[in-house]
A and B are shown apart, each in its own frame.
Chain A
Amino acid sequence: MSGATPAIQVERVTQAFGPPGSARRILALEEASIDVARGELVCLIGPSGCGKSSLLNVMGGLAAPSSGKVWIDGELVRGPSPRKVAYVFQENALFPWRTVIENLKLGMEFGRIPKGERHERATRALEAVGLSEFAGYYPGQLSGGMKQRAQLARALALETEILLMDEPFAALDEQTRMVLGEDLSVLLARTGKTIVFVTHSLMEAVFLADRVAVFSARPGRIKHILSVEEGHPRSPAFMTSAKLSALRNQLYEILHDEIRKAMNLRGPESASQAGKGEER
């Protein structure tokens, strides 16, 4: 990459849960370091409980690391930075009592976007994800895929440089996932955003990412970083190409042992979920 400041710098971040010194202390993440360049899409992949969601939370300022530092655009992260970082969650995080467009506007209200700009931004974001017709619908009336697209639109409306996505398509069926993945790639090419994407799906990781960071089983360390040299937007043909298959197989080899290890660990992914819950 060029000598420009990376969009995100993660330096030796460690994340532990539970009272210090007790037997219940869980080390989710250990000394993770990675730099994400501007306009790059990095996937974080690894077995359950390996701390990838924790790392995302730390990047987004939603959780403070037990040790280590994160910089966004050269500035130390101390809390949520809605001007720079927008989040998309796996679960449905749309506010059910508001329509889609009202959800977007509320998000901008939180992000202190001036009132006059909100409607325009909202309509643009909805167009970008193809939900313009459904602006007046309630989340309860939308399908799973549409809900996630709406959530993405809400994140886009904040017009941040960085997008953090925590298994956003995990709850959707595979076919929807594939299509949304293609759309995301198109979006990336068009907007040049920096995206960090957590996923469990090997296929998804290779299809979307410029680089894939592979995590080991708990305590999570970045075991390997795989490069995918392919331009954005990724075409559907890439999905079925030999190159993708080869990379995917490579990824599987690296991950295989870690998955087995993770399955035999007690108290798995609830570590990071507990961490999220503690944030109230």
Chain B
Amino acid sequence: MPRVPSGRNWLAVLGRPAMVRLAVVAGLVLAWEWTARQFGNPLFVSPPSHVAVAMFGLLRDPEILHGIALTCWELIAAFALSVVIGLGVGLLVGLHRFTRASFYPIVLVLYAVPLVTILPLFVLVFGIGPASKIAFGACHGVFPIILTVSAGVQNIDPVLLTSARSMGASRRQIVSSVVFPHMVPAFFTGMRLAMTTVLLGVLLAELYVSQAGVGHFASQFTQTFQPQKLFALIVLLAAIAVTLNEACRWGEKRFSRWQAR
């Protein structure tokens, strides 16, 4: 990071990477605005100004708000489900040498199967409502958590366990007071990864079939050639996705503070 002199050295301030980045983004948006107005077919492209207007319109539409809320609920439910199941299975698999050797390869094999291929099956089983999206998303999110939690449990330095034992800790105490806290940073890493895949899973399922969620509106806007509304919706969803991802990243950093610097 170049040292920025204090005071009124505007050139230095403007030259800072963050500023330049902002300028680049602003430039791109302006270029988009100009080209869309000049050459763009309004059926296919839309300048950002129209998108902004459409966004306000969307936010005032109760149906759309309901759809966004429904999708958010699907995301959170899928995430919560994958966290709970992932933590449980991860602990069970990781804590015992035997379960590790037996079940870890099974998890890896299952993880290698692209869940995308059985998306229609999920819909056939769970219907076209939120349940299929939640199930699909949860199946995606469960794997990173199982893998990171069981790794976090396994990678504990043996001296910590021996030391606890020498102080008279019971097996239960070792698990709750030594293994569990040690595993927490890995758990949060898993959650961050899980959030990313849950987002992909739920959103894909929404696009595949959706009655009242955002997928429904996305299809509608696509078929009726309303790019400004579609883009506005995408921007809103992107904002939600980024917020969720950042929240998980914050959690990861917050709970990993004690790790080796």
Q: How far is the CB of A235 from the nearest CB of chain B, in Å?
A: 32
Residues in A with CB closer than 8 Å to B165 are 62, 80, 279
Interface residues as binary, B133-163 with A (CB distance below 8 Å gives 1, 0 otherwise): 0000000000000000000000001111111
Residues in A with CB closer than 8 Å to B178 are 95
Q: Contacting A89 at CB < 8 Å: which of B97, B163, B173, B182?
A: B163
> With A97-B258, A280-B97 in contact, do A107 and B167 touch (Cβ < 8 Å)?
yes
Binds B, one of A30-38, A108-116, A120-128, A217-225: A108-116
Asked whether, in the complex, the Cβ of B159 is within 8 Å of the Cβ of A109, the reply is no
Asked whether, in the complex, the Cβ of A62 is within 8 Å of the Cβ of B258, the reply is no
Interface residues as binary, A59-93 with B (CB distance below 8 Å gives 1, 0 otherwise): 01010000000000000000011110111010111
Chain B residue at minimal CB-CB distance from A157: B167
Residues in B with CB closer than 8 Å to A91 are 157, 159
Residues in B with CB closer than 8 Å to A97 are 181-182, 184, 258
Asked whether, in the complex, the Cβ of A276 is within 8 Å of the Cβ of B162, the reply is yes
Asked whether, in the complex, the Cβ of A89 is within 8 Å of the Cβ of B159, the reply is yes
Asked whether, in the complex, the Cβ of A80 is within 8 Å of the Cβ of B260, the reply is no
Q: How far is the CB of B159 from the nearest CB of chain A, in Å?
A: 5
In chain A, residues 102-146, which have Cβ atoms closer than 8 Å to a Cβ of chain B? 106-107, 109-112, 138-140
Interface residues as binary, B170-208 with A (CB distance below 8 Å gives 1, 0 otherwise): 000100011001101000000000000000000000000
Whether B60 is near chain A, meaning CB under 8 Å from some CB there, is no
> Interface SS of chain B: helix, strand, loop or mixed?
helix
> With A107-B167, A110-B168, A279-B162 in contact, do A96 and B177 touch (Cβ < 8 Å)?
no
Asked whether, in the complex, the Cβ of B163 is within 8 Å of the Cβ of A87, the reply is yes
A62 vs B157: C-alpha distance when bound (angstroms): 16
A154 vs B169: C-alpha distance when bound (angstroms): 14
Q: Contacting A138 at CB < 8 Å: which of B158, B173, B258?
A: B258
Asked whether, in the complex, the Cβ of A82 is within 8 Å of the Cβ of B157, the reply is no
Q: How far is the CB of B201 from the nearest CB of chain A, in Å?
A: 32
A81 vs B160: C-alpha distance when bound (angstroms): 17
Asked whether, in the complex, the Cβ of B158 is within 8 Å of the Cβ of A80, the reply is no
Asked whether, in the complex, the Cβ of A86 is within 8 Å of the Cβ of B166, the reply is yes
> Interface SS of chain A: helix, strand, loop or mixed?
loop
> With A97-B184, A280-B158 in contact, do A111 and B261 touch (Cβ < 8 Å)?
no
Whether A158 is near chain B, meaning CB under 8 Å from some CB there, is yes
Chain A residue at minimal CB-CB distance from B185: A97
A89 vs B157: C-alpha distance when bound (angstroms): 13
Whether A277 is near chain B, meaning CB under 8 Å from some CB there, is yes
Q: Contacting B173 at CB < 8 Å: which of A109, A158, A277, A280?
A: A109
A231 vs B159: C-alpha distance when bound (angstroms): 34
Q: Contacting B166 at CB < 8 Å: which of A60, A92, A139, A280?
A: A60
Residues in B with CB closer than 8 Å to A110 are 164, 167-169, 173, 177
Residues in A with CB closer than 8 Å to B157 are 91
Q: How far is the CB of B153 from the nearest CB of chain A, in Å?
A: 11
A92 vs B166: C-alpha distance when bound (angstroms): 14
Whether B117 is near chain A, meaning CB under 8 Å from some CB there, is no
Chain B residue at minimal CB-CB distance from A96: B258
Whether B259 is near chain A, meaning CB under 8 Å from some CB there, is yes
Asked whether, in the complex, the Cβ of B158 is within 8 Å of the Cβ of A62, the reply is no
A124 vs B164: C-alpha distance when bound (angstroms): 21
In chain B, residues 234-261, which have Cβ atoms closer than 8 Å to a Cβ of chain A? 258-261
Q: Which of A60, A62, A80, A86 has most chain B Cβ within 10 Å?
A: A80
Asked whether, in the complex, the Cβ of B163 is within 8 Å of the Cβ of A112, the reply is no
Q: How far is the CB of B178 from the nearest CB of chain A, in Å?
A: 7
Residues in B with CB closer than 8 Å to A87 are 163, 166-167
> With A62-B162, A92-B159, A95-B160 in contact, do A140 and B169 touch (Cβ < 8 Å)?
no
Of the A-B pairs whose beta carbons lie under 8 Å apart in the complex, a sample of 27, sorted by A's number, is A62-B165, A80-B165, A80-B166, A80-B167, A85-B166, A86-B166, A87-B166, A91-B157, A93-B163, A95-B178, A96-B259, A97-B181, A97-B182, A98-B181, A109-B173, A110-B169, A110-B173, A110-B177, A138-B258, A139-B258, A154-B167, A158-B167, A276-B158, A279-B161, A279-B165, A280-B97, A280-B161
> What are the 5 tightest A-B residue pairs by CB atom distance, in nearest-first order?
A82-B168, A93-B163, A110-B169, A87-B166, A110-B167
A residues at B contact (CB < 8 Å): 60, 62, 80-83, 85-87, 89, 91-93, 95-98, 106-107, 109-112, 138-140, 154, 158, 276-277, 279-280
